[in-house]
Structure formats: C-alpha cells, structure tokens
Structure 1
C-alpha cells in the first residue's frame, strides 16, 4: 500500500504562470547531482558545481589537498584555522556524536579506513584482508577527539585523528545547492546529490515535488511511501549501499565507532526527514548505528522524523516509525 508524507505547513505561493522546469546536472563526491528549477533561468550548472567543489575542497577525505586532508596529516598538539563552512559541518557532526553517545563520530576515520571503506586499502581492491580483532582494538585504543574553538575558528589535532565527514558532507552539499538557488530568488526547486534530496516550493502544475522514499532492493513491492518535499529534505542510510561479504557475513560500510565493527543490528535502512539535509544525513547514520530500539528512543526525545526498516528472521522487513514521522503520514 502506498502512503504519503506531507509537511505540516504548505505555502500558497505558486510559480509564475507558464513557467517551465529546467534541469541541471553534474558530478561530484563520486556520484551525480541534479537540480530541477522552475522558471526562466540561465545555465545554473556552473554556479551549483562551484558550491559542490567548495565542499570537496574543504571536506573530502579522498582529496589529499583538501583542508580535511591537511588536518588529518597535521602534527599532534597543533591548532589549525578551518574555513567557516568546514567548521560549521564539523561542529554539527560533533554535536550529533555527543547526542547519540558516539554512534556517529566524525573522528572515526581510522576505523573506516581499517575496514576498507576509505580512500586507500579498499575492500574492493586485490589483496584486501579484513582487520583482526586485535587490530580493531588497537585502533579503538588510539582514538582521540578534536577540540573546536568557535571564537577563533580553529580545531585542535590531538595526534592521529582521521576526520571523516562522509556521513554529513553530502547532506550539507544538498543544503548549499538549495540555499544558492534561494539566494538567486528561486523558490521552486528540487536538488539532489547521490540520493539525498531537498525541495522547495512547487512544480508548475501546483503539485509539490513528490519523491518515493528509498527502499532496500529486497523490500516488498507496493509497501512504499512518497513524500512531498515542500520545504523538506530527506536522507537514507542503509546496509545495502556499500558492503563486502566475508566469513562473518555482510559487512556494511557503516561502522559503529563504539565497537570498531561494521553494524550488525538488523537495520536495513533508516530514513530521516528534516528541514535540513545535513541534519537528515547525520541523524540517519546515527540512528542506523544505534539500532531500532535505542534509535527510536533517541528520535522520540529529539523529535526526529525517522523510519526504520528492520530485517526479520524470515527475510522480510519490518517498519517502525517515530512519532514525528507518523504525524506527517496521511
């Protein structure tokens, strides 16, 4: 059965009569991006690409010359000035880390690399061997956290910290596309980077931007939800996107920073709906790591609109939703 998810408030503003949808596309962060814009507009692709290039230049853990790459190589016990955008994203990621009890930690890049999901020693390259329990414990023992000084815009590298903002940077990039369009006076749009989306306004026919929530490949046909992205963003984390299989079974790319191991909670996917795609991206990862029981408790405490899909013993998926998510379902 198809259900719909609606925002609590819907604007009555409509696009200009006779307006058309203009599509802009490109690539960034190892994936594609798109922007659907209502109304006469110049070629916006270069402007939007510049927004994404800024995120990559500052926060990519794949680019050695990025600000993040330089910070990761910095000597122990040193302070480093960060660009304002980098500082904003890192501060939010650290807040989510604290609120989730460490379930989503931007300082856990060494563990991500150890399991073959970083830029080197990848799981899909010849010769990769999963880490031993002793190697995982050694990585956990060496972990430390950065400190931020918001007054000076600096971050402290305690030594060996490998920042990884992949659980939040893509959502932040989506927000930058949306805000860039709005700064140009464009109110009706749908922007997307690698499956994370944010929409504003409506289409020329007055309909909102209807988007089907992402489902795992093994989800039952017909059991889906479409959301009206009218002032909303949506992000999904799942165990089916990137993984490898070894003697222990499926090893998803999402690592639990508290144990140092890939998640094994039975969570197939967590979708979060929020006004901010950065928030939706970060919280979908944190709730995935926490699992359905602890994740739902946290979502209820913080008013997060979240949907959990949990694998059952018979191979089916069971859906559980937070109160905030259920309140938007029609």
Structure 2
C-alpha cells in the first residue's frame, strides 16, 4: 500500500513531483495574460505541495484573501488524519488502547469508513491498518532503520495488520479495534481528502471553474481561462527524470496518480518502494510504475490508485475493467515505458 506523507513539511519525499506538476499545470492550463482571468495560489502542505487555480473568479475573490482560507482547510485535514502530528485526532486514536467503541469526529469517520469500503472492494489490497508495516520499513514518522526488517519482525507487524480487525459505526460515529495496538494509517487517502475539502470550500463560494492539486490528487471543475478543459499531465514514472507521458483534458472530475518512483530507498543495490503489500508485509516488486484513476471523489480515486498499484498491472487492469473504472497504467518494459488505459479511460486519451 502506498504511503503518502501527511507530515506538514517534516518530510518532502513528494515535493519535487508536486512542484513539477505545479509547473506543468501553468502552461497546460492555457491561461491568458489578463490579471483578472486567473487566480493562482500554492504552498507546502502534508509534506508536499498544493496548487489552486481559479478561472473567472468571483469579483470579490483575491489570491491574498483565498490563500489563508485554503490553508486553514488543509491544516484541518492534517489535524484530523496525520500520523506525523502527535496531537492529531488519528494519532490520539492510535494511542488509545481501548477495544470498546471509541467516539470519533464525523470527518474522521468519513475517511475511515471510505478506507474500509475500499478494503472490502479490493479484498484487502488497500488496508488502512497497514501502519505497523509502513513504520517497520521506514516509510512512516519513525526514523528509517539501518538494517532491513527480519522475517520475524515482519510477521510480528503483520499480526497487527488487517482491515477486518477494525469495526466502524456511523451513528454516533465511532470505531472499535480488535487489538489494542491496532494502528490506522490514512495517508493513502489524505491528498484526495485535501483536494475534496478545498473543492467544497470553493464551491461554497460560488467558484465554477477551478483546478486543485494536492501532490498527485487533483480536482478539476469547469474550464480554464481559455474556456477549455483543464489539461493535466501524467508524469513518466522515472526516478531521475521529469518528463510528461501523456496530457489529458479533465473537467468536473477528480484524478489521482500513485507511483513507486519518488519514495523509495536502496540497500545493496536493490530498490525498496513505499508500496507495501499487506499480504506479504514487504514492498511490492513489479514492473508497474504508476496508475492514474479518474472519478468523482478525490478521496476515492486516491485510494483506488493505491490499490491498483499494489495489485499490479495484470490483476489491477482486470479489477478496474470489471468495475468500469477509468484507470491508466504505465508499465516498465526494459528500457521503455508502455502506457495503456481501461475502456472507461479511453475517452480521455481520444480527446
């Protein structure tokens, strides 16, 4: 399962990619030179970078007034679901040893419940209880150990993992752990949650045309400053390069890209990605470099992109096609890259 950092700047493994995307979106958006045609703001968040672009904004809206409000929204997401912030609601929940029902906020419930829904849908390829394994491999808040985990350490951590070990209740919102040491990690949903929350803020203020990017999670609505769909770049999954594989037009949709090429470490010449398979307890070893999913909710496509990366290109493609998901896979084949989309994604490639 892909680990996405909600550290509010404590780590920056995704920052170069986010800056690359933000730089690409400026020319690709086709914005004109009129000062009142486009509002652009951006900055650090969740250990990565966010960018917001608004075409034809309301007359009273300015970048100076919008930026602090957007950052309040993103800071609230961190305060709810970050495992890097020891004071967050999720961190407090993880420290709570109770195996009885634990009350939680409605916002935290919404994210946990969606994570559990995706876990059920993907037969555990997506698992929000994977935190002990993420931390063991050095992709969490703790410092990465010098040595690789032993098989015994992996088995001990795996015993704490399993989405079936967590029950959720909607009214009143609460969770119940089967083990006192269950550790929930919502990082693979966090960027999508952030994009969705900022989208709700903009829509409440009457904004009809916008593009929001929180690292690889994007929400786009309406048209850019030239009246065209927002043009979104899918990056080639190469760790040492910054190049575009495809550019696709997106309007009134959410998009998320997950990949294995930015957050990894090497030991003895072997690369270990931050994608952890809950079934094996170890980083996955596949030729699949990235997956992009398009849908209605940033949180949902964020989780699904993660799940498809864990499944791999064959199983992931079959899963996506069987459920009508719009997904695009980029696979490494020796020195070349091969990209292909599901039938539901093909319309974006043909435009």
TM-score computed with the length of structure 1 as normaliser:
0.88
Task: Compute the displacement of 1:139 (Å).
Answer: 1.4
Q: Name which of structure 1's ranges 156-165 and 285-294 shifts more when overlaid on structure 2.
A: 156-165
Distance 1:278 1:293, change over 3 A: same
**1:205 and 2:222 are equivalent in the alignment:** no
The 2-side partners of 1:165 and 1:198 are apart by 19
Task: Give distance in 1, aligned partners of 2:269 and 2:111.
Answer: 34
Q: Quick check: 1:155 aligned with 2:175?
A: yes
CA distance in 1 between counterparts of 2:240 and 2:348 reads: 22
Q: CA deviation at 1:248?
A: 7.0
Partner of 2:136: 114
- Match among 251, 257, 281 for residue 278 of structure 2: 257
**Does residue 108 of structure 2 align to residue 90 of structure 1?**
no
2:314 to 275, 288, 293: 293
Q: How well do the aligned residues superpose, as a CA RMSD in angstroms?
A: 2.0
Q: CA deviation at 1:221?
A: 9.8
Instruction: Verify: 1:231 aligned to 2:248, yes or no.
Output: no
Find out whether 1:136 has 2:157 as its counterpart.
no
| Contact kept? 1:18, 1:204, Cα under 8 Å | no
Superposition pairs for residues 182-197 of structure 1, below 5 Å?
A: 182-197=203-218
Deviation at 1:62, TM superposition (A): 0.4
- How far apart, CA to CA, are the structure 1 residues paired with 2:106 and 2:242? 44
2:291 is the alignment partner of 1:270? yes
Which runs of 5 or more structure 1 residues have no equivalent in the other structure? 1-16
Tell me the CA shift for residue 79 of structure 1. 2.0
- The 1-side partners of 2:46 and 2:267 are apart by 27
Shift of 1:129: 1.8
Question: CA 1:223–1:36 in 2, change beyond 3 Å: closer, same or farther?
Answer: closer
Segments of 5+ residues of structure 2 without an aligned counterpart are: 1-33
* TM-score using structure 2 length: 0.83
Deviation by residue 1:256-290 (Cα, 9 ceiling, x = unmatched): 11110101122111111112111111111000000
CA apart distance, 1:100: 0.9
Q: Distance in 1 between matches of 2:212 and 2:84?
A: 23
> Runs of at least 4 residues of structure 1 off by over 6 A?
218-223
CA contact (8 A) 2:216 2:258 kept: no
- Which residue number corresponds to residue 48 of structure 2? 31
Cα distance in 2 for partners of 1:242, 1:221 equals 15
Distance 1:289 1:218 in 2: 19
Farther-moved stretch of structure 1 (213-222 vs 102-111): 213-222
User: Deviation string for 1:47-88 (max 9, x for gaps)?
Assistant: 111111111001001011111001111114132211111111
